[in-house]
Amino acid sequence: MCLRRQHDAAATPRIAETLPMTRFRCKHRLFCGEWAGATSAAYALAIILLTSLFPLPGLAAGSPESHPLPTDGEAFQQFVQLDPKPAPSRWEILLAILQNELEANQRWLERLTAERIELEQQRDALLAEQPVRNVDKARPSDADTEPRISWIQGRLERIDEQIALLQARMPNLEAEIADAERRLGGTAQSGDRQRRIQEALVYLGGYDGRIDGQFGQRTQAAIRAFQRRLEAEPSGTLTDEQEAILLEQAEAVRQQYGIQTMWDPEIGYSLIYPQELLPVEQRSESGDWRLASATGDSELQIEVVGQAPDIGLVFADLLTRYEIGYSRLQDDWFVVSGTDRDDFFYELALRSQDRLIRVRLIYPTAQREIWQPFTVILLNSLRFGASRIVGEAP
């Protein structure tokens, strides 16, 4: 059933205004209740088909999520080129459409219910021979109540049909929303959970991107690789059981290498490092730190300069002293990676107000597989005041 223009000219606009996404106009109909479910499905199908044929900008070739997994010398480049606001995926778009439909249907259901109550009151008043005058100026007054009662009864029947359609659609709509959220790796409010999954994938050596809670192609590729190790279907979406296994294995790695957070509230920096790999701690009188392995072949150096020198001069000096694999300079930070004899090194410099922090990680090339996950964690975790390299990348 649909609302026809010749029925209740006053009621029709009130109902129509509650249908922002599902209102259609045709020769005879303003809206058909039975189209409520089909409308969202049509939108969703169109979005999925279009994004399949024409990939979203965030998934285009050359975007961060389309890059192959980086190896050591490429890691900095992957991090600093990431877009801090990635384009939404097709499942995020579908989820937004479904959530909008749910909200619109809920508002429509509330409006229909309120109209039903109002019409029942009018009908009861007319039946009690207590007509309500001028309820609808487009219709005759209460001179003859029978046509009015008949019209109200017909309208109530149509409202009941529309409410029944909405109530039948709601469970399916909620199920579709739950499915879209599951495919995204969680609900829209589960950014922390998704970051935990990404961090766990880093510790297991399958992911070396940004830990930002955004599940793109690189995250899903890492999930599929993990699922293949479990001899499960590589769907790119974790089941609850697989997620529990992933987090448990990552925690075992954290415990094995003694993951710790170094935080200096006075100076204002923090970072995460593996204490078991760097058990020797030395701190200078100026507050600089040197964390080293027991053999001295790996170390993490942290230096904070109170009156920051020209960051460009520091950057240029590094380029002349080492064999550089990658380098990038910005107004308030730089990153440099390369080799120093038989060692790999990564250096990050980050300026906050008038201070500069320099963090330098060095380890033997033979230990690259061991150190790679912790390099990714270091790059993601470094904070200095209100500044960070990953989040500030252009």
Do 172 and 73 reside in the same domain of the chain? yes
Do 50 and 139 reside in the same domain of the chain? yes
In a domain, 250, yes or no: yes
Which of 237, 257, 277 finishes a domain? 257
207: domain CATH number is: 1.10.101
Do 16 and 102 reside in the same domain of the chain? yes
Report the alpha-carbon distance of residue 379 to residue 195 in Å, rounded: 15
Which of 183, 214, 232 finishes a domain? 183
> pTM higher than 0.85, yes or no?
no
Nearest to 301 by CA among 254, 251, 245, 262: 262
Do 155 and 206 reside in the same domain of the chain? no
388: domain CATH number is: 3.40.1000.10
Q: What is the mean pLDDT of each run of 10 residues along the chain (394 residues)?
A: 41 39 38 47 58 47 40 46 53 83 88 90 79 49 73 92 89 83 59 88 90 86 94 91 94 94 81 93 84 94 82 89 87 86 88 85 91 88 68 32
Do 246 and 372 reside in the same domain of the chain? no
Do 267 and 235 reside in the same domain of the chain? no
Do 61 and 209 reside in the same domain of the chain? no
- Edge to edge, the sheet with strand 269-274 lists 259-264, 269-274, 383-384
Q: Please tell me the total count of domains within the chain.
A: 3
Which of 153, 183, 213 finishes a domain? 183
In a domain, 5, yes or no: no
Q: Which amino acid is it at 178?
A: A
Task: Give 263-295 pLDDT, tens digit per residue.
Answer: 877 778 888 999 999 999 988 877 788 999 999
Share of the chain above pLDDT 90, in %: 25
Domain enclosing residue 237, as ranges? 197-257
Q: Give Cα separations from 64 to 58, 61, 217 (angstroms).
A: 8, 9, 9
